[in-house]
Amino acid sequence: DIQMTQSPSTLAASVGDRITITCRASQSIGNWLAWYQLKPGKAPKLLIYKASSLQSGVPSRFSGSGSGTEFTLTISSLQPDDFATYYCQLYDTYSQFTFGPGTKVDLK
């Protein structure tokens, strides 16, 4: 099975900061990579699909890049609503639906 890792596990940042989260796959997954934002008590929110496509309604300060085994999620200017936990996810077929361990973005 393909394993997903994320770094860092926790990130302390301030409003206005540019932040980057990295996700790595144990083998090439093409661009079958999604990013989600998760807040307590709420369902996960899809931000990015196919590694770099912005989901409808998601602010343009979110962007994704990468292919193969290494991917990044960037928030260009962190806003108060962005403090949350972020997960990457492999979804190449419905038999491969693996999540990374998550990255918590905290207020510095």
Partner 1 sequence: EVQVSQSGGDLVQPGGSLRLSCVMSGFMPRRYAMSWVRQAPGKGLEWVASISDDGDSAFYADSVKGRFTISRDNSKNSMYVQMNRLRVEDTAVYYCVGRIDYWGQGTLVTVSS
Could you list the residues that contact partner 1 (CB under 8 A)?
Answer: 34, 36, 38, 43-44, 46, 49, 55, 85, 87, 89, 91, 94-95, 97-102
Q: How far is the CB of 48 from partner 1 (least distance, A)?
A: 11
Q: How far is the CB of 78 from partner 1 (least distance, A)?
A: 21
What is the 3-state secondary structure of 33-68?
EEEEEECCCCCCEEEEECCCEECCCCCCCEEEEEEC
Residue placing its CB nearer to partner 1 in the complex, 97 or 106? 97
Which CA distances in Å does 68 have to 15, 24, 30, 84, 108? 31, 9, 5, 26, 32
Residue placing its CB nearer to partner 1 in the complex, 18 or 50? 50
- Using DSSP, state whether 107 is helix, strand or coil: strand
**Bridge partners, 88 (sequence order):** 35
Residue placing its CB nearer to partner 1 in the complex, 14 or 60? 60
Query: For residue 90, how far is the Cα from the chain centroid?
Result: 11
Q: How far is the CB of 64 from partner 1 (least distance, A)?
A: 14
Residue placing its CB nearer to partner 1 in the complex, 11 or 46? 46
